[in-house]
Amino acid sequence: MRSAFRVIRTVREKHACTQCDAIVQAPAPSRPIERGIAGPGLLARVLTSKYAEHTPLYRQSEIYGRQGVELSRSLLSGWVDACCRLLSPLEEALHGYCHERCNSDPHPTPEIRSRG
């Protein structure tokens, strides 16, 4: 099954108040990356391809290019960096959670070698 890209265009109308000359516009929808063009689905796909499927960013860029979407390696790298910064509190919480539940002795285990 081939994946497809969708462009989601958000229209935010500007309205002017006739009494006070103020201009009002609805706030932009929240994005995982501030002022970024990628939605959460595309970011999840890039991270899954990189870390779970071990596909390097240059190869992902080529794959997306063949599908008609030009995403440079530097752009993908910036997205990965921003997502890693966003996910760092989760990583720290998971380390703390696992550390509390790890039942291991801090002393090294001696290696037992068989003769022969």
pLDDT of residue 104: 64
Q: Taking the domains of the chain in order of start, what are their residue ranges?
A: 35-100
pLDDT of residue 2: 65
pLDDT of residue 4: 79
Residue burial 41-74, b: 16+ Cβ < 10 Å; e: rest: ebbeebbebbeeeeeebeebbeebeeeeeebeee
First to last CA, the chain: 54
pLDDT of residue 48: 97
* CA dihedral for 63, 65, 71, 77, sign (positive or negative): positive
Which amino acid is it at 26? Answer: A
Place of tokens 């391809």: 49
Strands (DSSP E) contained in 47-104 are none
pLDDT of residue 62: 96
Spatial neighbors of 83 by CB under 8 A, at least 6 apart, are 32, 33, 43, 46, 47
Tens digits of pLDDT across the chain (116 residues): 567 788 888 888 898 888 888 898 988 888 899 888 899 999 999 999 999 999 999 999 999 999 999 999 999 999 999 999 999 999 999 988 887 777 666 677 677 777 76
pLDDT of residue 84: 95
* 36 neighbors 78 (Cβ within 8 angstroms): no
